[in-house]
Chain A
Amino acid sequence: MIDTFHYFLMAWVDPHLLLLTALGTLGGIYIGAIPGLSVTMAVSILISFTFAWDINDALALMVGIYVGGVYGGSRTAILLNIPGAPSAVTTAFDGYPLAQRGEAGRAIGLSTVMSVIGGILGTVILAGTAPWLADMALEFAPRDYFLIAVLGLLLVSTLSGKSLARGIFSVALGAAIGLVGMDMVTAQPRLTMGNMQLLGGIHYVVVMIGLFGVAEAFYQLHNLNKVPVKQKVDKIIPPLKMVLKFLPLSMRSGIIGVVVGALPGTGGDIASLFAYDHAKRSVKNPKVPFGEGAYEGLVAPETANNAAVGGAYVPMLTLGMPGDAVTAVIIGALVIHGLNPGPMLMIETPHIFWFTVGNLVLANVFLLIFGLTGIKIFTRVVEVPKAILIPLILVLCVVGTYSINSNMTEVYWMLGFGLFGYWLKVFGFQMGPIILGVILGPLIDNTYRQAMSSVGDSGGQFLLDLVTNPLSLVLTSVIVLVLLGQTPAKAWFNGKLKRQA
């Protein structure tokens, strides 16, 4: 117990570690804010950089970058309508309209507080239930991942805006983009048109930067001469009353974030989509409709994606299995430093667990400090004349895309998607469903084939498992309910209930 406390406070009392965590968090915010510069990339560069360091120093820096980076994606989403990372895609839906109303400062302030609440909630759940949560995550069979992905597809109605038909088209298009590359099972090229560069597929961040970054920049050329909205900078830190009002939603979104984050194979991007959808379904009468600047639409994804950080550490620290791409790289760092990430990590090196937990809390404290300072300067970004801002955005998009895999071909793809996305925008298509398709298409493809090969390609057995396995049954029921809820069946059912009453 004393030991636990000691490990927990290690980074808090050592000025050196304190400084590294602070530096990491600050750096992370900016890395996360630039589309394409990802936490995964920053952490893998750090591995070489910190090779000769003490492992605790390296871990402190990595935790800081991770926490800061996941949050940082919201900055550009709110200010420029360009999510810095896939997990901030939904943040832009309501964050950007808020900035357009002159409330960028308030939006950043609120998302900072909610990110910290999410981050702390995720860490508390990690500390309290890690072994239990890890066991639960292992229960998810390929068929359950398939069901989650299908459930994710149903989010299309939430993300499509006015036209569901356009939304469904966009999801299908996204799924097709996601399937490009080498077939995982047979190792044969698929939809690559004989181009070797496409064997690795089209990275979904490339699609995201094109559709959100470049397309948005082009689109904003339409109102080049519009006078930028004057930003209100007096009400940045959200009042306690406001935080308390959104706390229940934030807690629910946080739990969605932790669970989705703890599942190896799904991370903050999917968590924030689910949380946004949850907010839209559960909040009946927001002051401002969703998509036009509802605070709820900012609260849910921002809590969820930071809570997912704690979740991703669950399988990593208890089993040595990565919860997402970043924890996979951190596992690599542990290996290189001579530790043995695996089920014995918590027994043989217990300090790693509590040190990480303490560090995550600390990083969230720094996030609160750094997130709430300097907002005034940041909101000025919205006031910068478009003629200066747009070329800058384009440069950042190119740099960000190149840095993903240092691949020039991906830059061309990104620009192509930018032009295509602009054209789609002009015709009233939403970008969200395309990203949904790109993320979920391959997940559905892989998990469906895994599930089918597990039962010897017997369709009957597959369907039977969907209703006989308790976990699968729960997921199947949710899908059926959501589906029915979107059809006239719901109205009919509600009407019947009323008549009975």
Chain B
Amino acid sequence: MFHSALKTLTIPMAVALATMSLSGQALAEYPERNITGTIQWGAGGATDNIARSLTPHVEEALDTSVILTNRPGGTGVIGMNYVMTQRPDGYNLLYGAENPQLYRLMGLADFGYDDMHTINIIGQGLVVIAAPADSPFDNLAELLEYAHQNPGELRMGGTGAGGLPSTVHAMINAVDELDVRTVTFGGDGPGMTAMLGDHIDFMPLSLAAVGEQIRSGKMKGLAVLTTEEIDALPGVPPITEALPDIDTFLPWGPFWGVFVREETPDDIKQRLEDAYETAVDSEQFQQFLANFGAEPLNLNGEDAQQYLDNWQSVTGWSMFEAGSVKVSPEELGIPRPGAAAE
């Protein structure tokens, strides 16, 4: 015990002394070795794609290697928990998606992005409600009308509680009534495959996942989760056309970000923030995002915090109002949408 305490004291001191004697600014040396980037989702998924296309630009900006590892499982809980238990020295980064903002609300874990420091909110995905090409519905309004007359009959593809389809479903239910059979799949891919075979009637999906299917005419878009039509999907009406009241929740979408432990020294945080800002801004990555069907955000500091708070408030409250979660966001100190902005 004493020995280890001594060790924890002496090593940093020795390191500090050594670096101080080498150069005046001890921390200007960062990064002096490889950085580990933990991706909280599996290989081949959206978070993985984003992380692997962004990282080479970061490596250039930081002049070091960032080794990427996938630690999937438990909606990202396992990967995030890993990074949070590593040393807060800036050598362990988390590449995450939106899910941790709902962990407390869903009782999955007692932490969220509030417990970490945001390096960058890279971008946000656009959401499309898609249906098979031969669907009798051409837009969400028609689908809603049918669902009102035949409650509990349409089959909606889902990815489980807290997944994107369930959140979109909750938002719709917060302003209207959509009573459907939810068929749960292991992810976007299996859900879309089932839709191509007409085994489900519609599914809310990210544009990144479904864009190519719509473009090729294998599926059609019933609505995009925006207030205006978007360039990537001409002719697909914005969701506000069918549901004007949903406007209070928009803009909304899944997002991707990079995080470090809160206790990381400030100048390292700054160094990382600068590097990621430059990397996300690079022409090649912006091109990738556009092709991928995502909106670039490139937020850090105050802006990033505001974005995260707003996302959590909108999502948490719509899920609560639709009855998808039992815990009130109020109990967790999440303000109602709109309140955060004031």
| Residues on A facing B (Cβ under 8 Å) | 40-41, 43-44, 47-48, 51-52, 138-142, 181-188, 196-197, 199-201, 264-265, 315, 319-322, 325, 328-332, 335-336, 338, 340-345, 347, 405-407, 446, 449-450, 453-456
Contacts and interface: CB of A to CB of B under 8 A. Distances in A.
A454 B153 CA distance: 9
Given A51-B52, A321-B192, A405-B78, 15 more contacts: A48-B52, A187-B162, A199-B75, A264-B193, A319-B193, A336-B49, A336-B53, A343-B213, A405-B73, A446-B184, A450-B185, A450-B194, A453-B182, A453-B183, A454-B181
B215 A342 contact: yes
Interface stretch (B195-203, B259-267, B301-309, B330-338): B195-203
Given A44-B43, A264-B189, A322-B189, A336 B52 contact: yes
B99 to A, nearest CB: 10
Contacts of B184: 184-185, 446, 449-450, 453
A44 B44 contact: yes
B278 interface: no
Contact of A331 (B44, B55, B78, B200): B44
Interface in B168-225: 181-186, 189-190, 192-194, 196-197, 199-200, 211-213, 215-218
Given A44-B44, A181-B74, A453-B182, A332 B215 contact: no
Contact of A196 (B44, B69, B81, B181): B81
Interface residues of B, number: 58
Nearest to B199: A141
Kindly list the 4 A-B residue pairs having the minimum CB-CB distance in the complex, ordered from nearest: A200-B73, A342-B212, A199-B74, A138-B197
B56 A48 contact: yes
B38 to A, nearest CB: 8
A481 B184 CA distance: 31
B68 interface: yes
Contacts, number: 165
Contacts of A338: 287-288, 291
Contacts of B119: none
Contacts of A140: 197
A456 B217 CA distance: 29
A454 B155 contact: yes
Nearest to B53: A336
14 contacts: A139-B197, A184-B184, A185-B184, A187-B161, A197-B78, A199-B78, A319-B196, A320-B213, A321-B193, A342-B212, A343-B217, A344-B212, A450-B184, A450-B185
Contacts of A40: 43
B77 interface: yes
Contacts of B108: 182, 187, 199
A320 B219 CA distance: 13
Contacts of B217: 343
A325 B217 CA distance: 26
A141 B190 CA distance: 11
A343 B288 contact: no
A186 B183 contact: no
Given A196-B81, A336-B53, A329 B216 contact: no
B70 interface: yes
A456 B189 CA distance: 23
Contacts of B82: 407
Contacts of A342: 211-213, 215-216
B292 interface: yes
Given A320-B212, A405-B71, A456-B152, A329 B43 contact: yes
A187 B160 contact: yes
